[in-house]
Structure 1
Amino acid sequence: MFFEDAKEASSILNVALTKRGETPMCGIPYHATSNYMAKLLQAGRKVAICDQIETARPGQLVKREITQIISPGAHFDERMLEAERNNFLIAVAVSGNRFGVAAIDLTTGDFKVTELESENAVIAELERLNPGEVIYPEESKRLAELIEPNVSVLNSYEGWVFAVETAEFTLKDHFKVAALDGFGLKEHIAATGAAGGALHYVSQHLRRDVTHFTQLSFYEVSDYLVLDAATLKHLEILEPLHREATKPATLYGALNRTSTPMGARRLRDWLTQPLSSVEPIRKRQEAIAQFINNSTILDRFCESLKEVRDLERMISRLSIGSGNARDLVQLYGALLQIPSLRTMINEVQSIDNPINPTLNKNIFEKEPNETPSLLNHFGSQLHDLPEVTELISRSIVEDPPMALKEGGIICKGFNPELDELRTGATEGKDWIAKLQKEEMGKTGITS
């Protein structure tokens, strides 16, 4: 690193600051890059990754380019990520008296947006989502003043990106659609600007692969009970009031019996954004009651879920090319659970376990309608993907190494050409003698 970057980084990383002529510079050991990178991200800084993009040729400079930028709100560093929390990058845009808030999580593929009517609502939503990074249009000074005291990392971004025309183009181009009505963004200019700004920032400025973002969901805060930071704190929903208190001394800690990190993140989301409409609450209670009243099936279901692990982050890593063979093995294990999970969902639905009539009478204002149950909906979304499981089982060894460079990932017999190269590497002399004999036969040259 050079110039001001070197001065700042040397202080953050506690490394020596040197000079080349009058140019300040500092460096870090290549093998420890990830450790130092984590420190920079924790300090709220971005890290640009510069890669060689052409083959080296003697006597010529090798062309290099910045291939991606890692920021506090867009990284896959497991040492900084919490399994039970999303790492959101949030974009805030304004149009008239409306505010758009878009949240995007590179590690899970979550992409959602809402539109709010007041500054207080914006602050409440930011406090609820607890983002790793927030961006805003660079010309919106008032927005910066509003947001800065409430977030850890705030960055401005080019204002034209948040303009509705640009944002619409960004979103339509990414999702390959002619209109955004299907995402619920019709007439939501501020929300469209925020969503387009977030996607543009991640894909163009940070140069990250965003192909795994396949959905964008618009949500109305009016569908939920708004809990501001003070309420979350004093009710001890996520964090205890006293630092010396144990982690379970919260509502989240008391309720969290989830089997996967995905479930833990969903529970946090539900607790900080409770439903306010009767019908969705009834559907949740029905689904929960069916399992609670059939504890044997529930126990089996939870055991199967434990084998699924963090499927969201696993798929995200694989989708953008930063995963490894162990992710594939874990994906294989997760896919193997789908038939049994679907069977148990069908099994528990076949047992007559209606919600207690007292609940229907006293809590719900009307009789349940005939829309499909949550469990029926979830079961219909589970697909076996036999071609994927078969490919992984044939191609990847049971216990592959972490790094690709270590080799030994592909099963013997999967690819004849690879098997031949492996044989040449491990049985060099015999392989060379065999090759020599074959070539002598082909060419007729005997020596």
Structure 2
Amino acid sequence: MGLMLKVVIAFNTFGTNDVAAFYTFSRSLADHGLEWTYRNGIVWFSGLPIFNHPPLTAYYLQLIGHVSRQEFFRSYGLTFPFLLRLPGIVADFVVVLVLVQLSATDARFRIPSWALALFAISPVSLMVSGFHGNTDPVVVMFLFLAAYMCLRERPILSGIFFALSCQVKVIPFLFLPIIFFFWLARGATMRFTIPFVLLSVTMWAEPLIKFPTLFLKNVFSYGSFWGEWGFTYWLRLTQLPQFNGTRPFNLPWSAAAVALLFKVGIVAAVLVIAWRRRYLRERAVIDSIACAWIIFFVFSPGICVQYMVWLAPFILILSPALYAWLVFTSSVFLFFFYNTIAGGLPWYIAISTNKLDALNLWVPWSLWPWATLIFGMILLWKKAVAADPLLRLFSLQTLREP
């Protein structure tokens, strides 16, 4: 049902301005090539290039840009906006199938039927995969499959799927320590690392050989919008000039320092989680990624709305109750966002801007899922301490099964 709803939505809408940006990227790639597109991108509200996607995404954009211009595909309504969203729709379905299979066959993962049904028809997923128009659900699928292969003790496939997740967006690199230390503790480091490195280098060969500095700068230095999420939203509300900014580049020095501090803290926390939990049972790798996602979203200096699908399957396994609350609060947040930028129902095309009057209509609703994750983090920690009174928050002590 969720699959069909997303297909219908994608077939009958244009989506957000991300779709227009990706279409412009596809034409730029076809007309000028990969290096030119990384160097120039397209310009939104500034003179800075914003093409920050790995080459695999660029190659797919070239493909669907070419296909969507063919009369045969156009006659069946297979337009660029639909083809852009199709992989994400399929990716969501794959994750649902894996979750159902996992819950049915593995006693460690008994997910309630209501939670699986909610995941399958999640309004968050409907809005992001069916309407928005970006590659985030594909990232989630490959990352989840990489973790799933840890459960199945398949280090080679885990390395392949993890590499593929990093070819769509680079955010999965945040979780490399978790999966790496997991295989290190089981003596399978090389069987994970070799396919991961070989596939990554192969897919990145063109930019690494021809323009490595430009590629690394564009892809790895990108940050999300300041002041639209979490702690940075509260800092922006102070109206102090040193915290007044939105773009990820050219922030006031105080805002840039705070953003850097949060990012370093997130990376440090993930490293600690990866190291301390490396010897726990296989299911712990998914729980560790879920905990890392919670830390990321609580302390991130900024997110984009479509990121709310990133953590979904991991939170579902970690805590179905927390997942249900997160779906509710995130759905409210995303509805007000899309309804604002689409000019009300029905949605066909939605244009997001950084104009303050528009931001003030939807950004406050982001506090709902943010607060949900904060409460969830606190409750999960209390539950962990109740199970092990000797557990310490600030410690590098390795955790082991009782």
**TM superposition score normalised by structure 1:** 0.26
For the pair shown, which has the larger CA radius of gyration, 1 or 2?
A: 1
Higher strand share: 1
Higher helix share: 2
